């Protein structure tokens, strides 16, 4: 058996606590994982444990669908994490989050396509929503392979959202950014009509900015 990574366990603990402090996960909802692609070990938060109370020994370690370490049972959503990681071999971390604004759109089965924010437009362009899939089963990930080819953040119908990145810093920061933009967007709607960026200017941003979602996806596809 390959040695387990204390550093990756610590990464899961650290970002679980950050998400907890921000109110983006709770005791029953939300889970984070990191995959060591060299050993095949998946490090994932345990089920039903308050994220603010986690330590490294509590992190579940999975190998080939079997838990091989950890004081508590692995999250019931480990199949969702495995499906996301299989869809994106360039990534190694997954944040399955129940952020209030993002989850509200998921409850409505509504993709997010706002056009008033440069941050949203650059990082996401849009956020698709998968149809409802039963939690704790592989069906919660139905459609995730196609959706995550071009998107790092995807809504899960009637559930929450899932983000992927090379590290948990990458996965968590895009959830935080999306949630903040949506919060401001809904405040703005209370103030008055939201002024959208014109389609022509958005298209220029999508095509010409090197950091746009569209250009990041193109670069990734060229490298693979």
Report the chain (224 residues): mean pLDDT per 10 consecutive residues.
Answer: 91 98 95 97 96 97 95 95 96 98 98 97 96 92 94 97 98 98 97 96 95 89 75
What pLDDT, on the 0 to 100 scale, is given for residue 219? Answer: 87
The pLDDT value given to residue 224: 66
pTM above 0.85, yes or no: yes
Task: State both tokens at 12.
Answer: 């899961």
Which among 48, 160, 158 is positioned nearest to 94, based on CA atoms?
A: 160
Kindly list the structural domains of the chain, giving each domain's residue range(s) and its CATH number in brackets, ordered by start. 6-223 (3.40.225.10)
Say how many CA atoms lie within 13 Å of 121 toward its Cβ: 19
Cβ contacts of 10 within 8 Å, gap of 6 or more: 56
pLDDT at 202 (0 to 100): 96
């Amino acid at each position: 058996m390959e040695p387990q990574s204390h550093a990756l366990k610590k990464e899961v603990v650290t970002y679980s606590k950050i998400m907890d402090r921000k109110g983006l996960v709770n005791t029953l909802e939300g889970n984070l994982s990191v995959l060591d692609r060299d050993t095949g070990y998946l490090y994932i938060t345990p089920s039903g444990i308050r994220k603010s109370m986690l330590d490294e020994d509590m992190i579940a370690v999975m190998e080939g669908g079997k838990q091989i370490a950890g004081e508590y049972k692995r999250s019931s959503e480990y199949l969702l994490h495995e499906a996301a990681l299989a869809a994106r071999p360039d990534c190694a971390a997954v944040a399955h989050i129940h952020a209030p604004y993002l989850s509200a759109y998921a409850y409505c089965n509504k993709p997010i396509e706002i056009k008033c924010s440069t941050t949203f437009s650059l990082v996401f362009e849009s956020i698709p929503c998968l149809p409802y899939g039963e939690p704790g089963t592989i069906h919660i990930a139905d459609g995730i392979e196609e959706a995550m080819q071009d998107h790092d953040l995807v809504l899960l119908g009637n559930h929450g959202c899932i983000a992927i990145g090379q590290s948990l810093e990458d996965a968590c920061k895009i959830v935080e950014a999306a949630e903040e933009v949506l919060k401001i967007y809904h405040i703005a709607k209370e103030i008055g009509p939201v002024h959208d960026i014109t389609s022509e200017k958005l298209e220029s941003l999508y095509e010409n900015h090197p950091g746009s979602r569209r250009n990041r996806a193109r670069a990734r596809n060229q490298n693979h």
